Amino acid sequence: MKKTLWTTCLSLLVLSGMLSACAGNTNSNNAPEKNAASSENANAGDVSEKPVAGGKPVVIRHTMYDSEFTSEMVAEFEKTHPHIKVEIVSADYNKLMAMMAAGNGPDIIRTNSVTELPGYVLKGMALDLTSNFNTSSVFKTEDFLPVVNQFKYDTITGEHGSGALYGFPKDWSPDYTIYYNKKMFEEAGVPVPSSTEAMTWKQLVELGQKLTVKNGNKVSQYGLVYFNGGTIANQDLINLQLLQQGGSMYSDDFGQADLTTPQMKDLLQFWVDTAKSGVGPSPLHQETDWGGQLFVDDKAAIIIAGYWFSGFLKTNELTKDRLGDFGVAPAPTMEGGKRISPTGAGTGAIIYKNSKHPKEAWEVFEWFFGGKPAEDRAKAGYGLPGTQTLAEMLPQSTEFDKMNYDFIQNELKYTDGSLPYNPYLNYQAVNSIFEKYFTPVYFDKDSIDGATQKMTEELNTLISEGKQLVSPE
């Protein structure tokens, strides 16, 4: 009966999700990226298909983007693994949930370890890969960087970051690193920040205010932008601040939300004041471009982003020939709190628990995440790898590369920490609640007290619904 409840609830969730405007990936540690795979591929390959006497290969389907797992990689893998055929499945969250409900899930599922992994484990979607990693001739667990812990989840204690290992990162970044434009600092007569000592959040905003340029009420140059939204109260930035303070929006078991605490109200007031100052984009100062574009257009002096942003600067036509203009500094920290510079995404993958071909799925997984593709990604430097050995392959040939390499060696000391996202909640749903109820506060149409009460009530309703989707197994 519980399995029937799980299937029924999941089907209702999918239907509800398809009717909503929200779709796509829950989060990203990169600039907006689109899976260009043909929708016809969504049903390609029968998951129950098995090799026949004539030597028909096993079909392993995955949801990595085709810009990540390219057709050239597929050809290279299949050449040395003729018993396996690799196919891509184009599936956003809603489509993935529909496939799961129909018993037709892909074998390898692209996963954001920070916001998605716990929920996938609780829904019974993720295969425990601990023994696979322990016996692998490709992976060496003693070589793993702390970020790999983001793919661990303890189903007994509910702790994210410990317990069984369910996946591995393709690439990741300390996503709250600060990149800045040296020339804008020079023009403003402001000293650049330290590359090793972290500022507090208050100091960062004050620094951004010194670099903000206004013409009347219109901002012509922002002092501080964030790659994944406005310089405002959102769950990413607040979760980091809470982590640094040892707090959370949720109870220890994530069964309840409470945004009405003094700690939460203080943080929200901080972001209201920040938005009203005009230091960055907000509902009061709206922009159509994302923060990275504002930065390369010289419309922003500082951006909160990740190591991946260095790769963006190296390839962008507006910045690739002036990389000496840019510097890097550590993620900010809460005054009196712990210095933690975590990943906000940790993009990688899991293997579907009900895959008909877990052995072959692991062969593909091991090759893609631990073999030549992983080495090529590390050498390209568009993100950080999951092992120390691969990290030593990061680019160091130019002054810009060396600056980023040296910086990351120090920042790695502070990357072990799990942002307190709720496994029963959809990431985009929480974003929508923040936007719906907190936007009026910026315009003085509601109070922090009023908004936090409404947000708490709606989050608790969604948590209750989300808990019904937990796998009975």
450-471 pLDDT, tens digit each: 999 999 999 999 999 999 988 7
Q: Which of 181, 197, 200, 436 is nearest to 291 (CA)?
A: 181
Tell whether 281 is covered by a domain.
Answer: no
Q: How far apart are CA 175 and CA 290, in angstroms?
A: 15
Q: What is the pTM of this model?
A: 0.86
pLDDT value at residue 3: 40
Q: How far apart are CA 94 and CA 96, in angstroms?
A: 5
pLDDT value at residue 471: 74
Residue 20 has pLDDT above 70, yes or no: no
- CATH (domain of 45): 3.40.190.10
Burial class (CB in 10 A: 0-12, 13-18, 19+), 453: middle
Residue numbers of the domain that contains 38 = 2-172+346-397
Tell whether 255 is covered by a domain.
Answer: no
Share the mean pLDDT of the chain: 90
Tell whether 149 is covered by a domain.
Answer: yes
Tell whether 275 is covered by a domain.
Answer: no
Q: How far apart are CA 334 and CA 202, in angstroms?
A: 8
Q: How far apart are CA 308 and CA 384, in angstroms?
A: 8
Segment 364-383 shows an average pLDDT of: 96
Tell me the pLDDT tens digit for each residue of 330-345. Answer: 999 999 999 999 999 9
User: Which is more confidently placed, 49 or 106?
Assistant: 106
pLDDT value at residue 33: 41
Q: Please list the residues that pair with 300 across neighbouring strands.
A: 222
Q: Please list the residues that pair with 350 across neighbouring strands.
A: 109, 167
Q: How far apart are CA 473 and CA 470, in angstroms?
A: 9
Per the listing, tokens 């009717």 go with 19
* Nearest 10 degrees: Cα torsion 180, 184, 190, 196: 20
pLDDT band at 26 (very low <50, low <70, confident <90, very high): very low
Tell whether 78 is covered by a domain.
Answer: yes
Q: How far apart are CA 68 and CA 90, in angstroms?
A: 13
Tell whether 136 is covered by a domain.
Answer: yes
Q: How far apart are CA 204 and CA 200, in angstroms?
A: 6
Instruction: Provide the number of structural domains found in the chain.
Output: 1
Q: How far apart are CA 166 and CA 125, in angstroms?
A: 10
pLDDT value at residue 473: 60
Tell whether 353 is covered by a domain.
Answer: yes
Tell whether 357 is covered by a domain.
Answer: yes
Residue 235 has pLDDT above 50, yes or no: yes
Q: How far apart are CA 425 and CA 460, in angstroms?
A: 10
Tell me the pLDDT tens digit for each residue of 193-220. Answer: 999 999 999 999 999 999 999 998 899 9
Residue 135 has pLDDT above 80, yes or no: yes
Contact 163, 152 (CB under 8 A): yes
